[in-house]
């Protein structure tokens, strides 16, 4: 991904500083929609191609909820917009959709809780700036949802970008192994929350609850016993059996096993498929195919839920270039392993006809923060934490020294991106209003199932 091995840390940092002549840090402040920018509702309609028609209204119903919900569901729209913004030429394994809600708590294979990036549907090698700007814009939009004052909103965005810049500066001189092993333990997050008196962040993380978000904990919530067989409970259109049969699930999992490291296969063989159903997840993913598969061990005591999620071309691919992997599920899995400090032991990929999927555990001690109930202080602390984590994720594959050299020690970049984020937040509010107007005018169907 980069040819930095022959250069010293100081040389790479100097290379980064020299890029400021070609791409001034202040240039990142600009956001002007292209005169030919399409109607956002029309552009969203284009991205509906290939989605399940009965779920598209659910997608729009969720996106209508708020400008932040719209931003979450409009990754393609923002990717189109970011493509014309300035970049330095340094590439990292990018998330491709690095908004605030795509960070969270999850368990490592050792069952320790860490805080990290947790969504990789759009991951690809790409300019690091795109992730930073999407994160910053999401902070600005979410702050608006919380009705924070303009001063608090700007401070939260600048704090996020500053946290990214400062952490990248810390990572630059570290050895590659130290960067690779670096992780943010949840206990450290809780300590930061206490130090900064961000009690709402500590409560929002809800660590005891996360520890109970397991397959065993999900069993009574998502299943029931019918006759002598345990079945996933239908809740149409969000959970339904019409799209997948046990035979299909069995074949998909047989192909999935081939993607697992050899040492994981004997472990998975201890479970047998019991049931499978379609399950709607997220906002941007609504309408793509996602299945929940229930497996039980041979004694019938230990459940294992696996999620099979459709993987299409990343939304940033038209601008970042195609993946080196023909299988889009493999693209997601490799990207996740590159960016995360620790990944799911059952992470893999599979195929159903010409459709690609990636596979992961469902509810494997995973949790996210409810941004809608946070105070200004807790929100700003959380946003800074996301900035630091994103820098670490980028440094695992990118040249931290060069990026840090470009960013420097002053607030120039922070202030520029904050200006961009404010302008893009206004754009998002206009786009959200356009969707709401289209629904009210009958141009678009939207529904919010209970």
Does 365 score more than 80 pLDDT? yes
The residue-averaged pLDDT of 178-207 equals: 88
State the alpha helices, DSSP H only, in 83-149: 128-145
Residue 217 CA, distance from chain mean position? 24
Residue 2 within a domain = no
Please say if the pLDDT value at position 2 is more than 60: no
**What's the whole-model pTM score?**
0.96
What's the DSSP call for residue 441? Answer: T
Q: Is 424 exposed, middle or buried (0-12, 13-18, 19+ CB in 10 A)?
A: buried
pLDDT, residue 255, reads 96
How does pLDDT run across 104-144, given as a tens digit for each residue?
999 999 999 999 999 999 999 999 999 999 999 999 999 99
User: Among the residues of 206-359, which ranges form H helices?
Assistant: 207-211, 215-222, 246-257, 265-268, 317-320, 328-339
Give the chain's domain count. 1
pLDDT at position 5: 57
Q: Is residue 11 part of a domain?
A: no
Residue 336, domain member (yes or no): yes
Has residue 424 been placed in a domain? no
* Closest by CA position to 187, among listed 113, 116, 117, 118: 113
Q: 139 in a domain, yes or no?
A: no
Could you list the residue range(s) of the whole structural domain that residue 245 is in? 212-361
- In three-state form (DSSP H/G/I as H, E/B as E, the rest C), the secondary structure along 290-321 is EEEEEEEECCCCCEEEEEEEECCCCCCHHHHC
**CB-CB contact of 316 with 272 (8 Å):** no
Q: Could you give the CA distance from residue 176 to residue 449 in angstroms, rounded to a whole number?
A: 48
Query: Tens of pLDDT along 142-178?
Result: 999 999 999 999 999 999 999 999 999 999 999 999 9
Query: Is 188 contained in some domain?
Result: no
Query: pLDDT of 58-74, one tens digit each?
Result: 999 999 999 999 999 99
185: left (phi over 0), alpha (psi -120 to 50) or beta: beta
Residue 212, pLDDT score: 86
Residues in the chain: 450
Q: What is the pLDDT of residue 17?
A: 98
Q: Is residue 278 part of a domain?
A: yes
Q: Is residue 352 part of a domain?
A: yes
In angstroms, what CA-CA distances link 237 with 17, 45, 206, 258, 364?
Answer: 53, 20, 29, 32, 24
User: Residue ranges of the alpha helices (H) in 114-229?
Assistant: 128-145, 150-171, 176-181, 186-195, 199-205, 207-211, 215-222
Distances (CA, A) of 198 to 99, 175, 203, 242: 21, 33, 9, 45
């Amino acid at each position: 991904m980069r040819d930095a091995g022959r250069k010293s840390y100081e040389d790479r940092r100097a290379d980064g500083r020299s890029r400021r002549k070609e791409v001034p840090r202040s240039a990142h402040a600009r956001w002007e929609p292209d005169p030919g920018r399409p109607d956002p509702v029309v552009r969203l309609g284009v991205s509906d191609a290939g989605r399940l028609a009965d779920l598209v209204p659910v997608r729009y119903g969720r996106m209508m909820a708020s400008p932040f919900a719209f931003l979450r569901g409009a990754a393609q729209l923002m990717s189109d917009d970011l493509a014309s913004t300035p970049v330095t030429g340094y590439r990292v394994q990018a998330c491709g959709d690095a908004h605030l809600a795509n960070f969270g708590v999850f368990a490592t294979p050792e069952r320790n809780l860490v805080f990290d990036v947790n969504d990789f549907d759009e991951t690809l090698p790409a300019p690091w700036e795109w992730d930073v700007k999407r994160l910053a814009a999401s902070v600005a939009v979410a702050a608006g949802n919380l009705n924070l004052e303009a001063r608090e909103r700007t401070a939260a965005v600048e704090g996020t970008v500053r946290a990214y810049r400062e952490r990248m500066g810390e990572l630059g001189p570290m050895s590659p192994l130290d960067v690779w092993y670096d992780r943010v333990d949840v206990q450290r997050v809780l300590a930061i929350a206490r130090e900064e008196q961000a009690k709402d962040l500590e409560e929002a993380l809800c660590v005891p609850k996360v520890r109970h978000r397991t397959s065993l904990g999900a069993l009574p919530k998502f299943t029931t016993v019918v006759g002598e067989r345990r079945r996933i409970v239908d809740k149409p259109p969000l959970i339904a059996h019409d799209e997948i049969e046990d035979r299909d699930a069995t074949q998909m999992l047989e192909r999935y096993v081939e993607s697992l490291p050899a040492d994981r296969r004997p472990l998975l063989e201890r479970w047998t498929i019991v049931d499978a159903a379609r399950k709607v997840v997220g906002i941007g993913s609504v309408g793509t195919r996602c299945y929940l598969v229930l497996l039980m061990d041979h004694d019938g005591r230990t459940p294992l839920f696996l999620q099979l999620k459709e993987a299409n071309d990343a939304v940033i691919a038209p601008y970042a270039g195609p993946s080196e992997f023909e299988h889009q599920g493999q693209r997601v899995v490799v990207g996740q392993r590159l960016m995360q400090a620790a990944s799911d032991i059952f992470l893999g990929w599979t195929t159903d006809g010409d459709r690609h999927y990636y596979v992961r555990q469902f509810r494997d001690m995973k949790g996210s923060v409810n941004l809608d109930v946070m105070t200004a202080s807790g929100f700003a602390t959380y946003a800074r934490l996301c900035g630091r984590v994103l820098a670490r994720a980028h440094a695992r594959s990118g040249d931290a020294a060069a990026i840090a050299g470009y960013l420097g020690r002053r607030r120039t970049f922070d202030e520029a991106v904050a200006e961009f984020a404010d302008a893009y937040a206004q754009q998002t509010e206009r786009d959200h209003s356009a969707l709401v107007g289209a629904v009210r005018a009958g141009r678009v169907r939207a529904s919010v199932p209970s």
